[in-house]
């Protein structure tokens, strides 16, 4: 899942070497949280207009997690 998130975001940003993803353990609700960090210049590219790209990234990640019977959440920081 982490590799999928990096693959999606690396196509959007200008500095793919500055992408970092940290993964938290499952919380009490069984949700794994992925924290995505990109450079400040690329933040607009990842969020998109009115958050459309961020929403699309979260949708794709949730769909992939559902296929693996997991529950995830993507936080863009």
Instruction: For residue range 42-67, list pLDDT tens digits in order.
Output: 999 999 999 999 999 999 999 999 99
Which residues form the domain of 10?
Answer: 2-76
Question: Could you tell me where the beta strands, DSSP code E, fall in the chain?
Answer: 20-23, 31-37, 71-76
Question: Given this model, what pLDDT does residue 9 score?
Answer: 95
Question: Which tokens sit at 40?
Answer: 């400040």
CA atoms within 13 A on the CB side of 67: 6
Distance from C-alpha of 13 to C-alpha of 28, rounded to nearest angstrom: 33
CATH number of residue 43's parent domain? 3.30.300.20
Question: Which tokens sit at 33?
Answer: 């949280």
Question: Given this model, what pLDDT does residue 3 score?
Answer: 94
Instruction: For residue range 21-43, list pLDDT tens digits in order.
Output: 999 999 999 999 999 999 999 99
For the entire predicted model, the pTM comes to 0.90
Domain total for the chain? 1
Question: Given this model, what pLDDT does residue 41 score?
Answer: 94
Residue 36 · residue 76 · CB < 8 Å: yes
């Amino acid at each position: 899942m982490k590799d999928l998130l990096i693959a999606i975001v690396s196509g959007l940003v200008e500095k793919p070497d500055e992408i970092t993803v940290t993964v938290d353990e499952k919380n009490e609700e069984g949700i794994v949280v992925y924290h995505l960090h990109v450079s400040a210049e690329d933040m607009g590219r990842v969020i998109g207009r009115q958050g459309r790209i961020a929403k699309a990234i979260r949708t794709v990640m949730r769909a992939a997690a559902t296929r693996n019977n997991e529950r995830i959440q993507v936080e863009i920081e």
